[in-house]
Structure 1
Amino acid sequence: MLTSQPPPHGRRHPEALTVSALDNAKLDSATDPDDIPVNPTSEPCLDDVIQRRFSRRDLLRGALGALAAGPLAGLAAGTAAATAEPQQPASSSPDDPTRFDFPEIPRGVDATHHVAPGYSAQVLIRWGDPLLPGAPPFDPQRPSAAAQRRQFGYNNDFIGYIPLPLGSSNSEHGLLCVNHEYTNTGLMFPGLADAEDPAAALTRAMVDTELAAHGGSVVEIHKVGGQWRLVPDSRFNRRIDALTTPIRIAGPAAGHPRLRTRADPTGSRVIGTLNNCAGGITPWGTYLMAEENFHLYFAGSLDEHPEQRNYARCGMPAPRYAWAEHHRRFDLNAEPNEANRFGWIVEMDPFDPDAPPVKRTALGRFKHEGAECIVNGDGRLVIYSGDDQRFEYLYKFVTEGTVTPLPEPPADPTGQTFAGRIDAAGQVHFREQDMHRRIAEARAANRDLLDSGTLYVARLDADGGVQWLPLVHGQGPLTAENGFNAQADVLIETRRAATLLGATPMDRPEDVEPNPVTGKVYVSLTNNKHRGKDGYADIDAANPRAENLWGQVLELTPTDGDHAADTARWDLLVRAGDPTDPAVGAHWNPATTEHGWFACPDNCAVDPAGRLWIATDQGGGWPVTSGGADGVYALETEGPGRGTARAFFRVPVGAEMCGPRFTPDGRTLFVAVQHPAADGTEAYPGFERSSTFEYPATRWPDFADGIPPRPSVVAITRDDGGEIGG
């Protein structure tokens, strides 16, 4: 295996060029944009509420006796139960109380990825791989926006899978929908390490290439002989970018004066989408892209700015890019309203190449992490989302209308799960002649469903109750007296509106995943090192998790199984971190091994059996929070194994684990390895400095001289063809 080597003796190390000096590479928690709280509220934080509900004595002893039969049994504090050496994977125990059956991988960090024994991890598509017809091969020495617009983008995050034909449950042929969150400038471009002023060395061509690398990709894939393959020149393959893609603005804020610019005096059309983190797939086969840290792209001054209060609440200005120097729309003073056109959920139709994506403003404007959907019992669609910053909030959106379901393809006499085929031109052919028409009619009925509905924010009470508070103009404090003259103002300033309603500030809420099998909802709360400081939380003997570096996983139970209800119940599934260190205050099922516990939960997924899987994002803090790289963990939510985690997959050094997504049959797990070689490489033994294009901490996945690390999507399958996780 080839790894990066230090520069030859006598040549200057490029320590002066840190990746974080050029972009949002998140080298450590101090530079993580999610780590900087901007919420001025004094409402009690989630940890305060937890401490009111459970005594310190109960938490420290695990409350096994009182809670063993209840929903909080997973909070039992225990010591590590593994007997394996750190260099060896821990085998599944015959007494394992979970529904998972695979040997764990050990905690660690090195230059490549690792998956549980008995599984294979195939690198499916990498940054720069040709995607559209005429795309040139990847050439990292000569990057260009024209090439990047036709190639797979950078920093893949969310992954969605849509079976083909649409409406089927085909698990061997489908579309991958992948977000490209941001770019790591110092790892992306050659020559910056030796520049006296790296920021000044960024050219317009480089900036345009970064813009082109943002957005999303749609990729047709097919499983042949047990291996996944890209379908070259597929009519479905598509790139959405921040440089040229026109996007329509719809919903209550469309056309509002606060969204109008010189380039778009109507306030109804914007170029591009930014910082697309997690997302979702709708029941009618469209792809939801969540705009998260949009504030990083805008420069300028807020002195006497017309949107000063609004933009300050979003953390602007905090530019991590040089875009404003080359594109005036990213200068807050040149285009005062441009930043109001980002921070939305974007809906894209991969089956209509002529349809522009749409920003659905009814879902609110904040730093969205995810847009996961569930059809409620009454037919309405409910979309959950977190606002990924410390002390921000948890949201859900409930549509006004109901979902028109896609018709189920008729049974195929050969035993296939769908009755159709796709010819060489990509045309869908059904045995039932009117199937295509019926699908088109159903999709048309759902086309604008997301433009009308109610956005709610959560208040978590000490008695375990959740109150969903409607963000509706004219109700409570959301009136003209507080600067909300219309529903558009409530949605543009969702954060401020939620604060006025008394929502509960959370520990950096990231992915929010409804479980369609059980009806419960899982919330990844990544961390909050500021808790207990700066007046944000009360510090006392009942609050053992001040300055929380490790995060927790929350479980919501909607009232009577109704996701549209204005109440729910909340419980803690686990408190992350090392269970053997009393100072951490972690809580796991005692069956969790020394390799199985994790820190900083981020994205999550539910497999077809209803089991929960967690992906982690420790950022540059991994040497402190766990001592190992990020990865994917199976986390039991039911029965005697509730609260037990098992290590399944691990990323290379400096990478973040993103986007877990299963095929409908559960036999493939797609994961996104983002920004390899970026985070915390100063603590990587033997490397111990910041990565650059020329000298990265790893050259994963190519491991070839001159090829930088490349964010990639990986397809994980079981060697015997069975379901992931056993």
Structure 2
Amino acid sequence: MSNKNEMPVVDIDDIPVNPSNNPWLSEVIASRRNLLKGGLGLALGGFLGGHLSGCAATNKNASPSVGLKNVSPKIGFTSVPLQHAQDFDRVLVADGYTARAFFSWGDEVVTGAVPWKADASNSWQEQQLQAGQNHDGMAYFPFTDAPNDHGLLVINHEYTNPTLHPNGPTETRDAQGVIRRPEHEVLKEQAAHGVSVIEIKRDQKNLWQRVKNSSFNRRLTANTPMGITGPAAGSEHLKTAQDPTGTRVLGTLNNCSMGKTPWGTYLICEENWNNYFVNRNTADWQQRVSHKRYGISNGLNSSKYYWETVDPRFDATPTDKQYFKGFVNEPNRFGWVVEFDPFNPDSLPQKRTALGRYARECATVVIGDEGEVAIYSGDDTRGEYIYKFVAQQRFDKNNPKATPDLLDEGTLYVAVFHADGRGEWLPLIWGERGLTARNGFMSQADVVINARAAADILGATPMDRPEWVAVDPHTRELYVTLTNNIERGIKVDQPVDAANVRKENHHGQILRWAEKKSNPAATEFTWEIFLLAGNSAQSSAPENQQGNIRGDLFSCPDGLWFDADGRLWIETDFDDAEDVYQPMGCNQLLCADPLSRNVKRFLVGPRGCEITGLTGTPDGKSLWLNIQHPGISYPASDGKTRPRSTTVLVTKDDGGVIGT
């Protein structure tokens, strides 16, 4: 997800760092050349005819215990119109629904927290006990005795905006021209990252309220102690001056989407963590794959936030031959899935290294008929890959807590999308398929630390910024958003292909696939393009900006979520100030029918925001979503008050299920 508070010409989060020209590309290009000559519409013809094996009720490969859905879910609301007004500062939801601000940046979380100050003068010590900035992925964890009326809401805080400080971040240059930051500002920014856990409950008037002073309320920040487990734990490449064991780390960074496990834990994902580090030794940076391949700043550059001028952890420049005495390995300690139990406020979060290291967007958990566990993730950078981790042990639904370290052993896979609609999951296993000492991989720790480089060698398919993955609860079909890639077909190493069909792709697409026999542990799948976002085919927009949406138009799909009835909810993230996105209005939440592919717009957010993070109660009658980095005074809606990222609660006025 893009950090848009600075509105750069090229978003640093999206700068491609994939140097590979994978061998499969020539095969794909050759097989698609004739179709592409005939124009975009012809190129898509074979992929929009519903050939996906998991879609048909007669699919012979389907697991008999998975009831393949052949009836559309009810989508009964009236579409909300686009909102183009430059001063649009509210949330507009479909008729018959109410949306209200529920939990905003600066709200008290932990006992002893002080109220948020509208002039942003709260100290870093106060921010540690308050909600962080830029709410993103989240999940609802119900209490078993009242699952639809009482639970914990767990919310990621991705990064910080200049609004965190009274007058924006302070930057001064020293005699050497290096930008310096005040310590109190850096500490406040670190405190505004991470996760909030809040207890919520319906009151006597049947209204949701936050439970103040709850023992479950908790903040995780960029300085919260965490453990490191799995194949990289204790590796020489994870040891630092602060942690010579390579098994303990402070904090989590840039927490975008997430995952929720059936054994009751929350999976935090670390996305654009590379923006926080710098290695000023260019020669060292050039040969250090764990830095260069992940886009860490180098040479005379600084990191995006300049934290290294205050906190030495973020200066990854090697100090001497015994490099672990410095912090050259600190970047290797980020980019992981962090697992913790929201119901145990004293638990130590654990970074699960078996799942691989990259700019992880989500960690979507799918359980098979025999307890197979798979976790799907996108690497949200232009030209990067889609991954799957399959646990070695199986999940026992009758004893969910039986394997607390289930995510420490298993196989990491990366996806290849063939031009004929077939797909493969290739295993990233040390000693196999070129992942050997000859290519710089000395152990499985090296493979997971440098998962991108390992995937390069295997010939994975570079994608148009893979983001959220969602699973249909009725069919186990999987969907992934490819948000955009304006360099597709422009850069030599990113030509158009079957899964990424548009040159200079501004608007993105959604792919759908079905694992063989609906088994999440399978290594083969079939796939198709579910839809292309963008302008109407009848518009005057250039062909590469036209989509094939059946219904309400949108751009840059990002968040994805299925409700229990099988409605697919789509959230968008585009810069509504850019000319190319003007026809789309403000960012929005839409609802799609997986069978008919019809799309209806349910909600529109305020100017400048991203719509993200979606979760709800088991009965589908309460829905929470996040308004991230609003560009105007939301939720105050007065045009003056400092804007705040906010979790919004949506309910149906008649008390019914959302979407019906």
TM-score class, shorter-chain normalisation, is: 0.7 to 0.9
| Partner of residue 107 from structure 1, selected from 82, 91, 103 | 82
Structure 1 residues 108-117 or 363-372, which shifts more? 108-117
| Partner of residue 610 from structure 1, selected from 548, 560, 566 | 566
CA distance in 1, matches of 2:563, 2:29: 32
The aligned runs of 1:132-147 (5 Å cut-off) are 132-141=110-119, 142-147=121-126
| Partner of residue 355 from structure 1, selected from 347, 358, 380 | 347
Structure 2-normalised TM-score? 0.88
**Equivalent residue number for residue 543 of structure 2:** 583
**Equivalent residue number for residue 380 of structure 1:** 372
| Partner of residue 103 from structure 2, selected from 125, 136, 143 | 125
Matched, 1:714 2:639: no
Paired AA for residue 561 in structure 2: A
Change (3 A) 1:665 1:621: same
**How far apart are residue 531 of structure 1 and its match?**
0.7
**How far apart are residue 190 of structure 1 and its match?**
1.4
Change (3 A) 1:525 1:69: closer
**Equivalent residue number for residue 211 of structure 2:** 231
Change (3 A) 1:354 1:477: same
Matched, 1:666 2:591: no
**How far apart are residue 231 of structure 1 and its match?**
0.8
Change (3 A) 1:563 1:315: same
The answer to whether the Cα contact below 8 Å between 1:60 and 1:585 also exists between their aligned partners in 2 is: no
The answer to whether the Cα contact below 8 Å between 2:504 and 2:544 also exists between their aligned partners in 1 is: no
Paired AA for residue 270 in structure 1: V
The answer to whether the Cα contact below 8 Å between 2:418 and 2:498 also exists between their aligned partners in 1 is: no
Change (3 A) 1:364 1:665: same
CA distance in 2, matches of 1:229, 1:657: 22
**Equivalent residue number for residue 367 of structure 1:** 359
**Equivalent residue number for residue 555 of structure 1:** 512
**How far apart are residue 202 of structure 1 and its match?**
4.1
Matched, 1:116 2:94: yes
Paired AA for residue 310 in structure 1: S
1:481-521: CA deviations, max 9, x gaps?
11100000000000000000000000000001122221100
Matched, 1:516 2:452: no
1:518-557: CA deviations, max 9, x gaps?
1100000000000111202447999962000000000011
Paired AA for residue 60 in structure 1: G
The answer to whether the Cα contact below 8 Å between 2:90 and 2:637 also exists between their aligned partners in 1 is: no
The aligned runs of 1:188-199 (5 Å cut-off) are 188-192=164-168
**Equivalent residue number for residue 320 of structure 1:** 304
Change (3 A) 1:276 1:612: same
Matched, 1:278 2:251: no
Paired AA for residue 353 in structure 2: T
**Equivalent residue number for residue 405 of structure 2:** 448
| Partner of residue 148 from structure 1, selected from 123, 127, 133 | 127
CA distance in 1, matches of 2:169, 2:124: 21
Q: What SS class does the counterpart of residue 392 from structure 2 fall into?
A: strand
Structure 1 residues 154-163 or 38-47, which shifts more? 38-47
CA distance in 2, matches of 1:575, 1:63: 10
**How far apart are residue 476 of structure 1 and its match?**
1.1
CA distance in 2, matches of 1:568, 1:674: 34
1:343-362: CA deviations, max 9, x gaps?
00000111222211000000
Q: Which has the higher contact order (CA 8 A, sep 6+)?
A: 1
1:114-143: CA deviations, max 9, x gaps?
111111002111000011111001124322
Stretches of structure 1 lacking an aligned partner (at least 5 in a row): 1-22, 75-96, 408-441, 678-697
CA distance in 1, matches of 2:420, 2:501: 19
Taking only aligned residues, the RMSD between alpha carbons, in angstroms, comes to 2.9
Change (3 A) 1:520 1:575: same
The answer to whether the Cα contact below 8 Å between 1:47 and 1:545 also exists between their aligned partners in 2 is: no
**How far apart are residue 304 of structure 1 and its match?**
3.0
Paired AA for residue 508 in structure 2: G
| Partner of residue 587 from structure 2, selected from 622, 626, 630 | 630
The answer to whether the Cα contact below 8 Å between 2:160 and 2:189 also exists between their aligned partners in 1 is: yes
CA distance in 1, matches of 2:39, 2:589: 30
Structure 1 residues 318-327 or 535-544, which shifts more? 535-544
1:176-209: CA deviations, max 9, x gaps?
111100001x222112499888996842111101
What is the percentage of aligned positions where both structures have the same residue? Answer: 41
The answer to whether the Cα contact below 8 Å between 1:169 and 1:664 also exists between their aligned partners in 2 is: no
CA distance in 1, matches of 2:459, 2:498: 25
The answer to whether the Cα contact below 8 Å between 1:104 and 1:647 also exists between their aligned partners in 2 is: yes
**Equivalent residue number for residue 459 of structure 1:** 416
Paired AA for residue 229 in structure 1: Q
CA distance in 1, matches of 2:169, 2:12: 23
| Partner of residue 636 from structure 2, selected from 702, 708, 724 | 702
**Equivalent residue number for residue 311 of structure 1:** 291
**How far apart are residue 300 of structure 1 and its match?**
3.4
The answer to whether the Cα contact below 8 Å between 2:109 and 2:131 also exists between their aligned partners in 1 is: yes
Matched, 1:179 2:179: no
CA distance in 2, matches of 1:312, 1:69: 41
CA distance in 2, matches of 1:209, 1:255: 30
The answer to whether the Cα contact below 8 Å between 1:188 and 1:708 also exists between their aligned partners in 2 is: no
| Partner of residue 260 from structure 1, selected from 225, 229, 239 | 239
| Partner of residue 14 from structure 2, selected from 22, 26, 35 | 35
CA distance in 1, matches of 2:20, 2:499: 21
**How far apart are residue 398 of structure 1 and its match?**
0.5
**How far apart are residue 373 of structure 1 and its match?**
0.5
CA distance in 1, matches of 2:49, 2:359: 37
Change (3 A) 1:459 1:193: closer
The aligned runs of 1:9-48 (5 Å cut-off) are 24-25=3-4, 27-28=6-7, 30-43=9-22
1:451-475: CA deviations, max 9, x gaps?
0011100011111111000000011
Stretches of structure 2 lacking an aligned partner (at least 5 in a row): 56-71, 318-325
Paired AA for residue 190 in structure 1: P
CA distance in 2, matches of 1:478, 1:67: 36
Change (3 A) 1:479 1:230: same
CA distance in 2, matches of 1:112, 1:467: 44
Change (3 A) 1:541 1:362: closer
**How far apart are residue 585 of structure 1 and its match?**
5.3
Change (3 A) 1:492 1:537: closer
The answer to whether the Cα contact below 8 Å between 1:392 and 1:505 also exists between their aligned partners in 2 is: yes
| Partner of residue 393 from structure 2, selected from 393, 401, 409 | 401
Change (3 A) 1:311 1:169: farther
The answer to whether the Cα contact below 8 Å between 1:366 and 1:495 also exists between their aligned partners in 2 is: yes
**Equivalent residue number for residue 60 of structure 1:** 41
| Partner of residue 654 from structure 1, selected from 595, 608, 617 | 608
Q: What SS class does the counterpart of residue 401 from structure 1 fall into?
A: coil
Q: What SS class does the counterpart of residue 362 from structure 2 fall into?
A: strand
Structure 1 stretches of 4+ with a deviation exceeding 6 A read 61-67, 193-199, 539-544
Paired AA for residue 227 in structure 1: L
CA distance in 1, matches of 2:499, 2:328: 46
Matched, 1:676 2:633: no
**Equivalent residue number for residue 142 of structure 2:** 163
Paired AA for residue 514 in structure 1: V
Across the two proteins, how many residue pairs are aligned to each other? 617
Structure 1 residues 190-199 or 613-622, which shifts more? 190-199
